[in-house]
Structure 1
Amino acid sequence: MEIKVFYLWDFGVKETRDITFGTSFTWDIPLLDGYSHCFLPNRSQKPGTHHFRGLDNPGADKEIAAWKPDAVLLFGYNYATHLGLILSQRLRNVPFLFRGDSHELFPARGWKPGVSRFLRRIVFQRFGTFLATGQANRDYFLRSGVIDRQIHIVPHCVDNDRFQSGAEDAHRAAAEWKKELGIPDGAPVVLFAGKFEEKKRPLDLLNAFLRLEPSDSSATAPVLLFVGNGNLESSLRAAAAEREGKTIFFAPFQNQSQMPRTYAAGDLVVLPSFGRGETWGLALNEAMNLGKPVIASSHVGSGPDLVIDGETGWLFPAGDVDALEKRLNQALSNNTQLRAMGEKARQHIAGFSYECATRALAGAMRGIL
């Protein structure tokens, strides 16, 4: 296959301020090497994926049509440019594939979910093939009127090779980093890595951790490490109070090159998100590549695929702090079991790789052409 990527926004390629992280940064790993691509001019006054006109690229259909593609793979549908491509007469005879990771694990009520599903049924008629990231995403497509034979599972993935090939160095670097942070040697580390924002529910994790029974030995008592930034940081530090620097620690935003070290610092990674916002949660993929078991809420889209309860990690009902506390106690009660589960997590994530996704995409393309 000959591939060309048409980017609608240059976030992360040049220094950009992330509203929810509350910081400006440029991703520090190569993003544009090894494939043909271009950036389509975005005229939005506030570019981004946080509103409909955040992706507004006039003439996108003309640029894509000029390349004469046999098929177009569209990531998303609910932005101005996406809608323009879907309605474009220039591309009316080109097969469209859709890729997204939405789900309906969050039990929304009222009339809006029904209306949204009705509108999706109309929009999705333009697509002949749907590339589902996993089980929850597949169910979302089926509820939106997509026929089962139109759906191909193309697993959501990160660069497994990058994380696993540097795992040994990452663990050595993590040991030094934990010393710098003041984490006691030998203390089990519960890790949260991400934005300190409401949908991630870091306060749920903090409150569950604060309920744990204290250990007789302060050197081996579990510690909680928050890595990231966001608007809840001050609330987290206030709730941690006098335990900050003793059993609760904070580290700032880490760029991509430092993420292997970040996950290597943990013994258990927790993603307690609440609501529809956590469409997949790629942090779990990254953590499992470093051999870490995970705890995820029932609203995390990857849960049905990545979390095998009691084997690669545990699930708990989203928003239930009591249930999260029980999972933490269960996980931290047996260090040997925790390490064994981490190895199973590393083995399981092999099925969510670039290679697996590429084979699945090639199969979908053969079906079209």
Structure 2
Amino acid sequence: MTSLRLTFITNFIPHYRVETFRLLAQRYQTRFVLFSDGREKNWLQENGTASGHFQYTYLKGFRFGGVRIAPGLIPIAWLDNSDVTVKCLNGKFALPVVALACMARRHPFIIWTGDWSVLDTRLSRLFAKLNNAVCRHADAVVTYGEHVSRYLIANGVPSENIITSQHAVTNAFYSRPVSLQEVEELRSSLQIPDDARIVLSVGRLVEIKGLQYLIRGFAEAATARNLILVLVGTGPEREQIEALAKELKIAERVRFAGYMSPYDTVRYYAAATVFVIASVTSHGWKESWGLVVNEAFNQGVPVIATNAVGAADGGLVRDGENGFIVPERDAHAIAAAVSRVVDDQALRGKLSANARSRIATWGQEQMVDAFSAAIERVTQKRRGV
């Protein structure tokens, strides 16, 4: 561990960031300041908020007009005596408080962001301008991937200030061996015949996930194939999805598994023939990344992703190499890609092997390396090196 002191400010600790933060805390004297209670609308409440073996503080606060207000963040931002502050590009209260304090004090700060699109509303466009201004004034910006870096450069952020990261999960967790017995028990619990191929989707059942296009694409692919679609997740779109499946006469081929803990999802990936993430641009907003892609790759599952998925546009999914990238809102393209993977065993084997090799070099260590590169750049800049 170096003597450099780091203050890392974000909303809360999701389960997939515990290892990231642990590794950061190993490299630097780090304290994590958390301003939310984990009740964001895009977060599954069943997952809760996590903790870890590092220094962190959850600030008390309240919600006003949907915005989380944590008054204790104000003195922290203005009196912070760390060498560098890292702020995730979130929090309509937290972001301006921290950014303004850092700029006023000439305190080094780094922004971490996955934004590569803007909600199509006046308020969102206004906040996007403010966010881009913060990124332009930051000493460095760490991005989720190539897609975010391109977006920032197009919005005036100097390319020399941008560090492109590898958005990652804990590979050792998701690559754990899954026994044949576990897979057989899963199939039995969902009443899936032994000879049926599983098309898998994991995520919230909400509009942005493009599930109507997945259902229509699956129906087309399943016409001449023995396929079962398994949907892991919960959400308000379930009734519409069930109704569409009945309309397309494939209800008996769709299984709703409901909520599964991160640990339990691993056996679903192990049982799947192909994974589909059919996310769409919704009111101008796109999927920042889609960590389910990383999770699926860890079990060697080929992924079909739309071009509205950050992991596809950001470089993890490579079309024809470890999966397929299809246009968003295109059920026929989904059907064609699913059919190719299911029908061609040699292709499926190649995609699977490439998925495993790709994700093996796309882990938490590489992700934290990007933060280290940004921190080194900022500290050198401040020293005039």
Q: CA deviation at 1:354?
A: 0.7
Q: Do the aligned residues in 1 keep the contact of 2:274 with 2:338 (CA within 8 Å)?
A: no
C-alpha separation in 1, matches of 2:102 and 2:297: 44
Q: What's 2:177 paired with?
A: 167
Residue in 2 that maps onto 1:322 = 332
C-alpha change, 1:83 and 1:110, in structure 2 (3 Å) is closer
Decide which structure has greater helix share. 2
Alignment correspondent of 1:3: 30
One-letter code of the match for 1:185?
D
3-state secondary structure, aligned to 1:168: coil
Partner of 2:270: 264
Contact 2:77/2:101 (8 A) holds in 1: no
Match of 1:74 in 2: 87
CA distance, structure 1, for counterparts of residue 280 and residue 88 of structure 2: 24
How far residue 175 of structure 1 moved from its aligned partner, in angstroms, is: 2.6
8 Å CA contact retained: 1:20, 1:197: no
Matched with 1:345 is 355
Cα distance in 1 between the residues matched to 2:268 and 2:70: 36
Q: Deviations over 1:292-350 (max 9, x none)?
A: 11000111111031111111100111111122221122222113421331121111012
Q: Is 1:150 matched with 2:155? A: no
The partner residue of 2:243 within 238, 242, 245 is 238
Please state if 1:307 is matched with 2:312: no
Q: Give the deviation of 1:111 after TM superposition.
A: 8.5
Question: How far apart in 2 are the matches of 1:61 and 1:19?
Answer: 24
Confirm or deny: 8 A CA contact 1:61 1:90 kept in the other structure: no
Q: 1:25 aligns with which of 46, 61, 73?
A: 46
Question: Which of 266, 273, 286 is 1:277 aligned to?
Answer: 286
C-alpha spacing 1:128/1:156, structure 2 compared with 1 (3 Å): same
Q: Is the Cα–Cα contact under 8 Å of residues 65 and 90 in structure 1 kept in the other structure?
A: no
Q: Residue 197 of structure 1 aligns with which residue?
A: 206
- Classify 1:102/1:119 alpha carbon distance in 2 versus 1 (closer, same or farther; 3 Å): same
Residues 37 and 117 (structure 1 numbering): CA distance in 2 closer, same or farther, change over 3 Å? Answer: closer
Q: 1:211 aligns with which of 200, 210, 220?
A: 220
Aligned partner of 2:148 in structure 1 is 137
Deviates more, 1:282-291 or 1:324-333: 324-333
Q: SS of 1:73's equivalent?
A: strand
Question: Which AA in structure 2 matches 1:205?
Answer: L
**Matches of 1:336 and 1:112 in 2, distance apart?**
50
Q: Superposed, which structure 2 residues align to 1:38-57 within 5 Å?
A: 38-45=57-64, 51=66, 53=67, 55-57=68-70
Segments of 5+ residues of structure 2 without an aligned counterpart are 1-27, 380-385
CA contact (8 A) 1:131 1:152 kept: yes
Q: Equivalents in 1 of 2:127, 2:79: separation in Å?
A: 33
Match of 1:125?
136
TM-score (ref. length: structure 2)? 0.82
Task: Identify which of 205, 213, 231 aligns with 1:226.
Answer: 231
Shift in Å at residue 228 of structure 1? 1.1
For the Cα contact (< 8 Å) 1:269–1:292, is it kept in 2?
A: yes
Alignment RMSD: 2.6
Equivalence for 2:107: 94
What is the CA-CA distance between 1:194 and the residue it aligns to? 0.7
Contact 1:167–1:260, Cα closer than 8 Å, also in 2: no
The alpha-carbon distance between structure 1 residues 335 and 365, as it changes in their structure 2 partners (threshold 3 A), is same
Residues 58 and 81, structure 1, Cα contact 8 Å, conserved in 2: no
Select between 288-297 and 333-342 the one with higher mean Cα deviation: 333-342
How far off its partner does 1:91 sit?
6.5
C-alpha separation in 1, matches of 2:286 and 2:87 = 20
Aligned to 1:363: 373
Aligned equivalent of 2:192, options 162, 168, 183: 183
Q: What SS class does the counterpart of residue 74 from structure 1 fall into?
A: strand
Superposition deviation, residue 213 in structure 1 = 5.4
Q: CA 1:60–1:330 in 2, change beyond 3 Å: closer, same or farther? A: same
Cα–Cα, structure 1 residues 306 and 3, in superposed 2: closer, same or farther, change >3 Å? same
Distance across 2 between alignment mates of 1:109 and 1:358: 32
Letter of the aligned partner of 1:322 in structure 2? H
| Matched residue SS, 2:62 | coil
Tell me how far apart the structure 2 counterparts of residues 355 and 24 of structure 1 sit (CA, whole Å).
28
How many angstroms apart in 1 are the aligned matches of 2:85 and 2:102? 14
State the AA in 2 paired with 1:174: V
- Does the 8 Å CA contact 2:190/2:255 hold for their aligned counterparts? yes
- Give deviations 1:84-133, integer Å, cap 9, x for gaps: 111227972221101111114x9x88988976664444332331101011
The CA deviation string for residues 169-209 of structure 1, in whole angstroms up to 9 with x for no partner, is 4x642331111110111321110111111110111111111
Matched residue of 2:105: which SS?
A: coil
* 1:85 aligns to 2:91 (yes or no): no
Deviation, structure 1 residue 66: 4.7
Percent identity over paired residues: 22
Residue type of the alignment partner of 2:74: D
Deviation at 1:24, TM superposition (A): 4.9
Partners of 1:208 and 1:321 within 8 A in 2: yes
Partner amino acid, structure 2, of 1:271: I
Q: Which runs of no fewer than 5 residues in structure 1 stay unpaired?
A: none
**Hey, what's the Cα distance between the residues in 2 that align with 1:355 and 1:7?**
22
**Partners in 2 of 1:19 and 1:350 — Cα distance?**
32
